[in-house]
Structure 1
């Protein structure tokens, strides 16, 4: 099936488009819900952020980095 990208210029237009789609029982997703990143990559990044918040990390000095 073909997909469309709709770009309303105002909040009023956005609400009208959403209302029409809902009335026609057409599914749609918000652009904020679409990610260009691989879900596994995002999962790893979020896990890393959580580990950092919990203090589960080590720091390296620049001089030690290449040793």
Structure 2
């Protein structure tokens, strides 16, 4: 990656310039990371829901009615 640093009058780095090809790859990588993060969140919440259903079936916690369920959304 060919980075060029932009500095202020005192030599402090305050920006980076990079080739468009590198920028496009970074954006693509970030989109993939976001997709994976969303998938991880979905799977975690699904596992929680499955565990809650298991506890309801075992009588450990009461079932919620549809209105309570929708209020959580």
Structure 2 length-normalised TM: 0.30
Higher percent of residues as helix: 2
**TM-score for both structures, normalised by structure 1:** 0.32
| The structure with more radius of gyration | 2
